[in-house]
A and B are shown apart, each in its own frame.
Chain A
Amino acid sequence: MFVRLSAAIAAIGLLSGGAYAQGAKLTDPQIAHIAYTAGVIDINAAKQAKTKASNKEVKAFADDMVRDHEAVNKQALDLVKKLKVTPEDNDTSKTLSKNAADKSAELGKLSGAAYDKAYVANEVAYHKAVNSALETQLIPSANNPELKSLLQTGLKIFQGHQQHAEKVAADLK
């Protein structure tokens, strides 16, 4: 279970380890793309949960994720428009999307309480990984102060989501 869980984490591990090791500093257009992609991934996971989850608290959590991540991504889009920055696809975004697709296929095979548990466990792990990437790489690398500030708010939101997911996971036990 914990091995399968780690697909998403591995992606972000690449991000914090791999990209740094190669000395490739991320640019603002790349950072914007990664942050936006990370949001879209969680929205898609939540949409899948809205159709598959059976537990009421898990369904409510999925609603919260769609609502929050859509609101944050809208802010991100407004900001890149204002800054006239075009988000740029990159290897980290690609790896994130690929791993998320694998994870979604894996979760798609589960149902009932097993699905609920696996979805929430992945939400804990995913937010933890995204938060660590934000803290150690995306925020320090961001150049534009407005982008940096949006990422900092994003970090607080996702830390909140991580705690919320941890509570849901504890309630499922």
Chain B
Amino acid sequence: MTPRWILPGLALLLGASVSAHAATIRITMENLVIAPAEVSAKVGDTLELINKDVLAHTATARNGDFDVMMPPKKTVTYVLKKAGAVEYYCRFHPNMKAVLNVAQ
């Protein structure tokens, strides 16, 4: 019979191993420039979207995969769900563009 304490221990271990693989990718929008202009990530990674402008921006995938609102002077997060190379832009200022390469 499995001792009772092993189960939560196992869950903790599994949880730990999943979060060890998921990274946080930091993307900044400042003075209408997205930096970095191109970044690689994996499904399950978290995008940390930092808006340093006094204007609202969005991170909107050209292919419709995501559309995240970024209020002025705020940081929002988004967990990547789909793999693929995605060009994204700001719907309010379409001259702001960048690329995200999401691996499986």
Please state if A161 and B55 are interface contacts (CB–CB under 8 Å): no
**Whole-angstrom distance between the alpha carbons of A73 and B55 in the complex?**
12
Beyond contacts A68-B56, A159-B95, A160-B93: 7 other A-B pairs, Cβ-Cβ < 8 A, are A64-B92, A68-B92, A156-B32, A159-B93, A160-B92, A164-B91, A167-B94
Show 12 A/B contacts (Cβ-Cβ < 8 Å), sorted by A: A68-B92, A71-B54, A72-B55, A153-B32, A156-B31, A156-B32, A156-B93, A156-B95, A159-B93, A160-B90, A160-B96, A163-B95
With an 8 A cutoff between CB atoms, is A25 at the interface? no
**Whole-angstrom distance between the alpha carbons of A160 and B96 in the complex?**
8
**Nearest chain B CB to A116's CB is how many angstroms away?**
19
Please state if A160 and B95 are interface contacts (CB–CB under 8 Å): yes
A residues within 8 Å of B by Cβ? 64, 67-68, 71-72, 74-75, 153, 156-157, 159-161, 163-164, 167
Question: Which of A64, A71, A157, A167 meets B72, CB within 8 Å?
Answer: A71
